[in-house]
Amino acid sequence: MITLYRYDAFTAVPGKGNPAGVVIETEGLSEAQMQAIAKDAGYSETAFVLPSEVADLRLRYFTPGAEVPLCGHATVGSLYALCEKGRIGEGDIRIETGAGILPISLTCKDGRIHIGMTQAVYQEKPFCGDKAALAASIGLTEEELDDRYPIVYGCTGLWTVALPIRHLESFARMKPDNKAFPGILTDEPYASLHPFCLETVNENAMLHARHFSNPRNGTVEDPVTGTASGVMGAYYKRHIAEDPDKELLVVCEQGLEIGKDGIVETLIPADPDGQVRIFGTAVFVEAYPAVL
């Protein structure tokens, strides 16, 4: 029997944050079986823990529809699970992913393990498509976009589109038409869409966001997104921060509109060529037999 664990990432409260499937005992599983498990589980991502010849361990990530190179919340959930089971402990490790070998820090604070995940160096390119169509794809008008800031494709491992929105009240009205995304995001048709604004619910947050999946992933919305929060931290430092030459900690809130509140902290180095780091914790929710 293969056990599937559910961990909610970027929260300490079960039922909040972003749920991830975690499979630890993977010996003998084929790629097709991993995909079948992820499809049946239905989480935005399910992570599979594997041995590695070049790092301390390897993680593979599957959405219900396809394998992806990296997933922040499934990484946090997987490493928290391994800590709870005594497979790894406090300190620094390296993990092999489809986006490269990434350094990880594991620290204990307030009785919980906190995972620091180094992402790839930030990449960015402008969105040159139809802004009205982009706004309409999530049920908004072009006038609701915040034209003080650019719309860009950003990547710290996965491409997402940073879409600035003027006001917080627009977020409750968003209705994504995910199938329309590839025809609008023609430079990166597998990109997801990450609307954000500077108005927040939590006083300590700097950005409020939602995250709508690319249709090939088989999900509609990701509650709290580590990779996209990495993009948003780098975006904030480059386009919004008063002093873009200083190291910056960006706090992103997400998931409130769907009752999955979570917080991601992103540390952006002073060096523009430095790697982004995200931080978060997780909580065990349940375990049950995986369906192959």
Judge contact between 61 and 47, C-beta under 8 A: yes
- Position 64 pLDDT exceeds 90: yes
Specify the pLDDT at position 272. 84
Annotation says 143 is catalytic = no
Express each pLDDT in 113-125 by its tens digit: 999 999 989 999 9
Specify the pLDDT at position 83. 97
Specify the pLDDT at position 292. 87
Express each pLDDT in 10-25 by its tens digit: 999 999 999 999 999 9
Express each pLDDT in 198-241 by its tens digit: 999 999 999 999 999 999 999 999 999 999 999 999 999 999 99
- Position 184 pLDDT exceeds 90: yes
Helix (H) or strand (E) holding 167: none
Specify the pLDDT at position 273. 85
Place domain 3-119+280-289 in its CATH homologous superfamily. Diaminopimelate Epimerase; Chain A, domain 1 (3.10.310.10)
Alpha carbon distance 275, 68 (integer Å) = 20
**Same CATH fold, 123-277 and 3-119+280-289?**
yes
Q: Which of 218, 220, 242 is nearest to 175 (CA)?
A: 220
Specify the pLDDT at position 211. 98
Express each pLDDT in 230-272 by its tens digit: 999 999 999 999 999 999 999 999 999 999 999 999 999 999 8
Q: Using pLDDT thresholds of 50, 70 and 90, give the confidence band for residue 29.
A: very high
pTM exceeds cut of 0.85: yes
Alpha carbon distance 134, 176 (integer Å) = 10
Kindly tell me the sign of the dihedral angle through the C-alpha atoms of 240, 248, 56, 101: positive
Instruction: Locate all alpha helices (DSSP H) within the chain, ordered by sequence.
Output: 31-41, 72-84, 131-136, 181-184, 226-239
Q: Which of 182, 185, 130 is nearest to 153 (CA)?
A: 185
- Position 181 pLDDT exceeds 90: yes
CA 88 vs CA 45, 51, 83, 94: distances in Å: 22, 13, 5, 11
Q: Using pLDDT thresholds of 50, 70 and 90, give the confidence band for residue 93.
A: very high
The per-residue DSSP string of 211-242 comes to: -B--GGGS-SB-SS-HHHHHHHHHHHHHHT-S
Specify the pLDDT at position 15. 97
The one catalytic residue in 25, 27, 31, 45 is 45
Kindly compute the dihedral angle of the four CA atoms of residues 45, 7, 226, 166, in this order, to the nearest 10 degrees.
Answer: 100
Q: What percent of the chain has pLDDT over 70?
A: 100
Fold observed for domain 123-277 = Diaminopimelate Epimerase; Chain A, domain 1 (3.10.310)
Could you tell me how far CA 219 lies from the centroid of its own chain? 13
155 residue type, one letter:
C
Specify the pLDDT at position 194. 99
Alpha carbon distance 220, 44 (integer Å) = 9
Specify the pLDDT at position 110. 86
Q: Where are the domains of the chain?
A: 3-119+280-289, 123-277
Specify the pLDDT at position 55. 99
* Radius of gyration over every alpha carbon of the chain, rounded to an integer in angstroms: 18
Specify the pLDDT at position 36. 98
Helix (H) or strand (E) holding 251: strand 248-254
What average pLDDT does range 181-208 have in this prediction? 98
